[in-house]
Structure 1
């Protein structure tokens, strides 16, 4: 029997989709790809394959999960299987360099960015950027990994020379223009089936870790899921009646890069210019924000996957 196959490496992030698939009684199977093997001479099963591989897998001791997922997806695509967020999506998930160039190609503004390998070249890049304030981040990241704000090149040098320097898993550090927003928030735009679903406003006043998933909660500091007397302000809020003109451009970008499910994060500067700075093809959703808005992306995603599965029988 054909099924929905979910390719992933993190049970905590996948359980919410699993619950929706169970609730709707859809046939599915989970493929946990932290390690394993592929018989290239064998044919894959029939079904729809949904890739949820994360760029931050190495932070959970799944260092080579994206490489294994890439091999599995190549095998699936070779045999003509339907893959949601296939090889192109995976390439963008694990490389912000590829993300930014693809966004720019689509006419979507991104912050000025220089990629560098080696501490000497990181400093040279910061000098070349020529900005009083800038940030660094990892090329292959997730959960805001490696994001640091600096107000001088000397501060960056001290960080590189100090014990807290966090080396990127692929060796590539990005030195990037700091976009100062008038208010401390970013907006994450969620898409399912390549179409805009909703946007969530994310409060960034407490830091750069912006994962909306309930599983990302760290002592209620970065991803709180409950409002309490000490947390009166929701960190995640789904916006109502929100559809700026650039949404169509985002959809065209996703279509051009064969990405069906994604969250695109953007920030607006004081002049009203919007910059996209992250494309997350392993997107997660915040349950409290969804409950307040009455919108449930994992249910929408499960229904989309079933619809794609049903098309195979036509």
Structure 2
């Protein structure tokens, strides 16, 4: 049985990880979520499974693997594999509503939000929030499924015309539009529920701030390594512990109206910053490989 299996669907994002594993001589197999699996087969594909299924996969394939992969990862866990970012983590990753509930439950600030499952309920939710606001898909990726509305007339027209964003799970978020101080957000990466590094991300359009290699080319996104305030580091680690997040990023923006740091997104797909040696001066994939080797040794 291999030591490590990596379940992924994006053809380019994980080449740096594969290269790091090859450099360290880690025995691993690379698996696609496509094809069929037998729920009566109790043999896992490896001692440790690393989940790298992206929420943005629905943008690449209409028949996306998000929900299929959750069941498969849970099956492998039942078969005895140690799953890194397993089905429970993926379920929260696949729901911005659950993420915001988790964050707010820790006493941290979030943008004012209402969650609905019918387009007909959006105008009433908007009235409780006020304008400007955004309507978001519960499952999104790379800024997809987000529309801004500046008044009720615009919103009612979009709802009546069937022009609101849609989510693959049918859930929408109505959320206040937060003016971001300095036009940049901070993404804090965590590994094994502890702070790893942080970058400030700016540019790239109104909502698309993906820092990964395949997202950056020609996007206008800029990334700068930063040392966040201790309170932000503590908050990111608390979020990671509450979610049982093995590896992932937490995104926060400072509200220019009142200076409050508002957390708004958790991303369990950390394929790390593009050009890490230029931005950070070191490669976080090496730390991830260290973590995976430790989990393999535990599972031996």
Aligned to 1:279: 266
Q: List alignment gaps of at least 5 residues for structure 1.
A: 224-234
Q: 1:296 to 1:62 in 2, by over 3 A?
A: farther
- 1:294 correspondence with 2:281: yes
Residue correspondences, number:
299
Aligned to 1:25: 25
* TM-score normalised according to structure 2 size: 0.92
SS class of match (1:55): coil
- 1:202 correspondence with 2:201: yes
Does the 8 A contact of 1:10 with 1:32 survive in 2?
Answer: no
Q: 1:149 to 1:295 in 2, by over 3 A?
A: farther
SS class of match (1:191): strand
Q: 1:132 to 1:292 in 2, by over 3 A?
A: closer
Aligned to 1:107: 107
Question: Counterparts of 1:16 and 1:289 in 2: how far apart (Å)?
Answer: 10
1:205 Cα offset (Å) = 6.7
Q: 1:10 to 1:48 in 2, by over 3 A?
A: same
Aligned to 1:183: 182
Q: 1:24 to 1:123 in 2, by over 3 A?
A: same
Q: List alignment gaps of at least 5 residues for structure 2.
A: none
Question: Counterparts of 1:179 and 1:201 in 2: how far apart (Å)?
Answer: 17
User: Map of 1:1-314 to 2, 5 A cutoff?
Assistant: 1-61=1-61, 63-129=63-129, 131-161=130-160, 165-204=164-203, 206-217=205-216, 220-223=218-221, 235-239=222-226, 241-270=227-256, 271-288=258-275, 290-313=277-300
1:64 Cα offset (Å) = 4.1
Does the 8 A contact of 2:135 with 2:165 survive in 1?
Answer: no
Does the 8 A contact of 1:237 with 1:289 survive in 2?
Answer: no
Does the 8 A contact of 2:5 with 2:45 survive in 1?
Answer: no
Deviations 1:241-289 (A, max 9, x none): 4342232232132123221101001001132211110000012222335
Does the 8 A contact of 2:147 with 2:164 survive in 1?
Answer: no
1:198 Cα offset (Å) = 0.7
Question: Counterparts of 1:134 and 1:119 in 2: how far apart (Å)?
Answer: 15
Deviations 1:67-104 (A, max 9, x none): 22111111122133211111221111111111111112
When the two chains are superposed, the root-mean-square deviation of aligned CA atoms in Å is 2.1
Q: 1:156 to 1:295 in 2, by over 3 A?
A: farther
Does the 8 A contact of 1:185 with 1:205 survive in 2?
Answer: no
Question: Counterparts of 2:77 and 2:126 in 1: how far apart (Å)?
Answer: 40
1:47 Cα offset (Å) = 1.4
Deviations 1:4-61 (A, max 9, x none): 1111221222222112111222111111114432342332144111111221211111
SS class of match (2:13): helix
1:217 Cα offset (Å) = 3.5
- Structure 1 segments, 4+ long, off by >3 Å, are 158-166
Question: Counterparts of 1:164 and 1:204 in 2: how far apart (Å)?
Answer: 26
